[in-house]
Structure 1
């Protein structure tokens, strides 16, 4: 039986090991490259209807046109979000786009870790201990059971976060355009006014870009914390920084950041960082920055690779009489 071929673009070494291990079980022959998809390497997709891309690279209209001309009909993005691809434009040139489902526990666990680190002043405490200053912090920590946590976006990850929070005994409120669980849903304005911690888990799209803008940040409780493990542009960074610098907000823990592309996942130890917003944030003692790593666990990576292969196989086996399926954007 002839094996199905797919091209895996932007593939890390750890992903490549898993693709080579798993692909034969599905009757798939992967072509693997560490390079992100571009017009310069479209030839790697020749003869293949399905490709896979990572979330780390913006897929431009010109790349989508070139892929369409190369007869690519399906893109499986190894991420929950599709904001790096213009899905509607892809559909217009005959390419269906679908994300992958992976363990929500990876991001949910990380979110709780960031919450705890933020409310216990972990950045300042660890920094001082590293230079052998073992005095107590000037600011006392807070306990989650005494706090109201506002969860924005209650898909698989948001729901997993709420499940964990219940064990801490805190009060949980939620906001979502499309309520999905038995959570205590309230309007967004009320959530911002009531919450001691606001955590972001909604997909990024035209409606949620800068969901937390200057006006909404000003609505938040004095000394509240923001946690973002969703997408950087859910939060207006230029509005966030003054609120943190002035003490209006108590702190922030950000695993994603506006303008992270080209910075996160790269080694900048010996290179200057040009993002002034990132540099300002890193100077603040009440801000934690991590490089979009919440999803990165053994379990989630295996899920991602396996579901990429399943996505492509299902598309390839779809009866031709049904045509190309509509692009899919699953909730986070």
Structure 2
């Protein structure tokens, strides 16, 4: 259980959560919040007084250059949008930081082991799994109904039917790799469509048919990825595994870009081996996603190749971005810091 789950457990059981307490019952705590966009800033300003937090809001991502803004605060909150270098972690340590709360589920943008060596604990947040689960189902349905090509045609006033008929989920097998909170939420939604569901996870967490990864790939018409990015899952789907997939199968990724070997994916799509892909995350997205690149060349040739394909949907890491999930993220990032402070009071 994460710090945020521990802190909100009383509310789920009908008790009082930290959000409902008054500032008088929670000691004022200084927290520096980096990479804070306008939408997050509004939420932090609204929630911080209720939790007894004195926030220092910083628009820019955390870096060596602005690490001094954390002086006097043991806890900082950081965004997942920009990798945090070891030099930045060292600068934060020298500024007296002992806890970094990343406003994301994943840790892959932070060297957690290096941070631990500096005496810095890194914590993630829990947020509504429904945001990503809903988006995943949307991408699945768009992929099997040729939505990208259809919308492009309609925008150009070409109203003819697509050359390829769409497919219905009830006729297909969907393989879910990773059955944490998001993967289970995806499975719950898939059940309503009447499709066959296969799953793969080291620790099965729901009543569904679990099979080895290679078996799942051979039997699935759609494969959707929801496993954390670790050294063991980096390029989980590579050339060998793409070759195992059913001809015409679809790949959906709302997890992390490097779960897929992007060059191998491009080749599998170009050759016609795969029927299509729907990607909310892409390998090498850093510096591209979350920026206006209309007038700036993009160096990532695999990303450009994917976007040019009529059977590939690409969105800019936005599956998590709902009002509910963002509110969860902001609150739980603050709660994580307060929980750390309460367990590590000075003196």
Q: Decide: shared fold, TM above 0.5.
A: yes
- Per-residue CA deviation, residues 62-111 of structure 1 (Å, 9 max, x unaligned), is 11111111110000000010000011111111000010000000000000
Which residue number in structure 1 is paired with residue 252 of structure 2?
227
Task: Give, in whole Å, the separation in 1 of the partners of 2:303 and 2:241.
Answer: 21
Contact 2:68–2:92, Cα closer than 8 Å, also in 1? no
Which residue number in structure 2 is paired with residue 110 of structure 1?
135
Of 272-281 and 133-142, deviating more is 272-281
Deviation at 1:320, TM superposition (A): 4.7
Which residue number in structure 1 is paired with residue 327 of structure 2?
302
Which residue number in structure 2 is paired with residue 72 of structure 1?
97
Deviation at 1:319, TM superposition (A): 4.2
SS class of match (2:56): strand
Contact 2:43–2:327, Cα closer than 8 Å, also in 1? yes
Structure 2: gaps (5+ residues): 1-23
Which residue number in structure 1 is paired with residue 112 of structure 2?
87
Which residue number in structure 2 is paired with residue 265 of structure 1?
290
TM-score (norm 2): 0.91
Which residue number in structure 1 is paired with residue 11 of structure 2?
none
- Per-residue CA deviation, residues 233-276 of structure 1 (Å, 9 max, x unaligned), is 00000000011011100000000000000000000112211111
- Per-residue CA deviation, residues 292-316 of structure 1 (Å, 9 max, x unaligned), is 0000000000000110111010000
Task: Give, in whole Å, the separation in 1 of the partners of 2:208 and 2:232.
Answer: 22
Which residue number in structure 2 is paired with residue 129 of structure 1?
154
Task: Give, in whole Å, the separation in 1 of the partners of 2:270 and 2:152.
Answer: 19
Aligned length: 322
- Per-residue CA deviation, residues 26-58 of structure 1 (Å, 9 max, x unaligned), is 100100011000000011100010000011111
Match status 1:155 vs 2:180: yes
Task: Give, in whole Å, the separation in 2 of the partners of 1:10 and 1:179.
Answer: 36
Query: Match for 1:56 among 47, 67, 81?
Result: 81
Structure 1: gaps (5+ residues): 324-332
Query: Match for 1:239 among 248, 264, 274?
Result: 264
Query: Match for 1:168 among 174, 193, 208?
Result: 193
Task: Give, in whole Å, the separation in 2 of the partners of 1:180 and 1:74.
Answer: 30
Which residue number in structure 2 is paired with residue 326 of structure 1?
none
RMSD: 1.2
Query: Match for 1:277 among 289, 298, 302?
Result: 302
Task: Give, in whole Å, the separation in 2 of the partners of 1:12 and 1:175.
Answer: 36
Of structures 1 and 2, the one scoring higher in RCO (CA 8 A, sep 6+) is 1
